[in-house]
Amino acid sequence: MHTTEARREGSDARQPDRDVLGAALDSAMAESQYRTAAASVAREMSVMPPAADHIANLEAAARI
């Protein structure tokens, strides 16, 4: 077997590992983006009251 053929076969043998690592990286990035978005929503919710509370407050104020 030629050296170039052995290298090619070795490279092909590692391809599934690269695919798995790529998928793991994509998953980690998606999870990071999800956590960032969830933290942003949590901050917004801490600043603004939930809609149900706001509506209840408006209804209570309208009854006065």
Query: Within 13 Å, how many C-alpha atoms sit on residue 1's CB side?
Result: 8
pLDDT band at 59 (very low <50, low <70, confident <90, very high): confident
How many structural domains are present in the chain?
Answer: 1
For the whole model, what pTM was predicted? 0.43
Q: What is the rounded CA–CA span in Å between residue 33 and residue 23?
A: 15
| Domain span including residue 15 | 3-63
Chain CA centroid to CA 13, Å: 30
Nearest CA to 57 out of 15, 49, 5, 23 is that of: 49
Task: Render pLDDT for 38-55 as a digit per residue (tens, 0 to 9).
Answer: 888 888 777 766 677 778
